[in-house]
Amino acid sequence: MDNTDELQFQDFEEVSNLLSLDPDASTLPASPPGEEDIKLDLAEDDEGVQEMSKLLDGGTPTGGFWTFEYYRSFFNVDTVQVLDRMKGSVMPLPGRNFIKHYLRSKPDLYGPFWICVTLVFSVAISGNLSTFLSQRGDQTYHYRPQFHKVTIAAVVIFMYAWLVPLCAWGFLTWRRGVEGQAGGYTFMETVCVYGYSLFIFIPTSLLWIIPVEWLHWLLILVSTLVSGSVLVLTFWPAVRDHTKLTAVATLVTIVILHSLLAIGCKMYFFQTAVHMAVPESTTLHNTMVTTQVTKAH
């Protein structure tokens, strides 16, 4: 039996017509009925790998802002990073932005939180010691620990560390929306730079124990100048595209509020006693009057 006809190539007109209409059409056979095609979506895999790498680096908060997971990412920082940021907060160098150079889009709350806590106790305790040393020569003075000042210091410092950055961030965000600008700092970045800017006041408050008035004001001037310069250098890129009046007013307000915090702490917690010298003639006159009254009786 001759099977030559069965082995000959045949021209499939239907396939030829399809290829002539669409040269890029696939000639693979379709899947049998009831079976689904298996597709590999590499784009989704790449996105998953990128998201996982961000989570491992700690750069992307997970969950909503009301969850514990969201805030835990802001405490994922090591000692080297915290020390480096503390060093940067007392070294205002021209052209060096604290947020861009030290935070690098990874703000933390660990450093600002413990800086505020340490500053609360250093201000309250140093204020008590300063008052005791300044009143040491007064015979009528009786030392009493003023524990309520710890609460007052905590309220003032933590309100400053949160409310002032909130107002600054809100104002800059509003101005950016009005002028149609892109970018800007996030709220956590603003809180972070304000928290680290308070670090210099910790050694300053310890030196305020020395009951010398002119030294207190000199320390206020130096500490405010250093930390205020860090804030100005940080927020200048965010306001330089605004009008000249708005930019200058914003930076001046930031420095004034920072100065008021230092001056307020000094005036309330570190009150240097002023002993009034009693003239010798007045003392002698009072003694003679007392003696005469005693003899008369």
- Nearest CA to 232 out of 257, 202, 261 is that of 257
pTM: 0.69
Q: Is 217 helix (H, G, I), strand (E, B) or coil?
A: helix
- Nearest CA to 249 out of 172, 194, 161, 192 is that of 172
- Integer-rounded Cα radius of gyration of the chain: 36
Question: What pLDDT tens digit does each residue of the chain (297 aa) get?
Answer: 555 555 555 555 555 555 555 555 555 555 555 555 444 444 444 444 444 434 334 445 555 656 666 667 778 888 999 999 999 999 998 888 899 889 877 889 999 999 999 999 999 999 888 888 877 767 777 777 788 889 999 999 999 999 999 999 999 998 887 766 666 888 999 999 999 999 999 999 999 998 888 999 999 999 999 999 999 999 998 888 888 899 999 999 999 999 999 999 999 988 765 444 444 444 444 544 444 544 444
